Amino acid sequence: MNSMSGKELAKLLERNDWILLRVQGSHHIYGKAGSSIRISVPIHGNKSLKVGLLRHLLKQAGLSGNTHQNTNTVEESNSENNEANESDSIDEEQD
């Protein structure tokens, strides 16, 4: 499993319909409609979360480690597509 910062985990939760309920110090508390589960994500700059904590928080959120990896794959794929489109437009301008 790749490491992830608290900020990255917060973005992943928000993309999966988790809502930021409140902030207590450096911890962002997330909840989901229709669920009593609360997830406390430590946000300490870009410092990576330890693997055990990351697994625990992903499990609480109902997300697997594969979800994080798939998210990276989708983002990388989108980035590659954007680069290809930019390259195509440059080629067209040169013609």
Domain containing residue 44: CATH number: 3.30.920.30
The residue to which tokens 């992943």 are assigned: 12
Q: Assign residue 5 a region (left: φ > 0; alpha: ψ between -120 and 50; beta: otherwise).
A: beta
Residue 78 is predicted with a pLDDT of 45
pLDDT attached to residue 52: 95
- For position 86, what pLDDT does the model report? 58
Q: How many CB atoms lie within 10 A of CB 44?
A: 12
pLDDT at position 70 over 60: no
The pTM (predicted TM-score) of the whole model is: 0.66
Identify the pLDDT of residue 57: 96
82, part of any domain: no
Residue 72 lies in a domain: no
pLDDT digit string, tens, across residues 2-52: 789 999 999 999 999 999 999 999 999 999 999 999 999 999 989 999 999
User: Count of domains in the chain?
Assistant: 1
